[in-house]
């Protein structure tokens, strides 16, 4: 397992800024166990959420990894989540939380505001687990992914809890995600 903590601490895209935006698209939507200044629903363009990243440290073990969300490039796609305005010192514990293959990347966030108003945008960070990290599991049939999620359990709890909480959080945001909702259906049949 590659620990990306030190790498992320070198990836400081917003040096000198008093506050930065962080975009959560997985457990960060519903499990913000860090201090933040502001929280706003947001989305990013040209990315889709997929349960293609292995979790050896939170929702699984090295012997039986769980599966958690990452993003894949997809032209024209929209990925909804939650944006948090944080101070830079919050990144250190997040780097540890996201150490299993995730790297900080810079993206443009669009905030979800009142209907009819002009969308507001800002630069922000995501933690991205790309296909070249050692914990990346990649694509598999949805039934197989659901079975792996149903069976996996790690220090942060059952893997199925992660998927079910994410599906609930996306519904609360009124966000559509065919991949997540299809996995949830497969899981309910097991």
Angle between helices 178-189 and 142-151 (to 10 degrees): 60
The catalytic residue among 98, 123, 139, 161 is 98
CB burial of residue 127 (10 Å; 0-12, 13-18, 19+): buried
* Annotation says 114 is catalytic: no
Which of 5, 1, 184, 3 lies closest to 104 in space, CA to CA?
5
CB within 8 Å of 1: residues ≥ 6 apart = 56, 57, 62, 100, 101, 134, 135
Active site residues: 98
């Amino acid at each position: 397992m590659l620990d990306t903590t030190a790498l992320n601490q070198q990836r400081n895209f917003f040096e000198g800024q008093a506050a930065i935006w962080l975009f959560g698209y997985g457990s960060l939507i519903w499990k913000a166990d860090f201090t933040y200044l502001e929280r706003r629903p947001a989305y990013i363009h040209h990315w889709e959420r997929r349960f293609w990243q292995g979790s050896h440290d939170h929702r699984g073990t090295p012997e039986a990894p769980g599966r958690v969300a990452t993003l894949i490039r997809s032209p024209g796609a929209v990925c909804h989540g939650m944006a948090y305005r944080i101070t830079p010192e919050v990144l250190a514990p997040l780097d540890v939380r996201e150490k299993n293959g995730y790297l900080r990347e810079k993206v443009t966030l669009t905030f979800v505001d009142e209907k009819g108003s002009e969308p507001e945008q800002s630069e922000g960070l995501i933690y991205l687990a790309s296909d070249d990290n050692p914990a990346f599991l990649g694509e598999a049939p949805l039934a197989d992914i659901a079975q792996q999620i149903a069976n996996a359990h790690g220090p942060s709890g059952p893997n199925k809890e992660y998927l079910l909480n994410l599906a609930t959080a996306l519904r609360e945001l009124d966000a559509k995600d065919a991949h997540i909702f299809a996995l949830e259906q497969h899981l309910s049949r097991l």
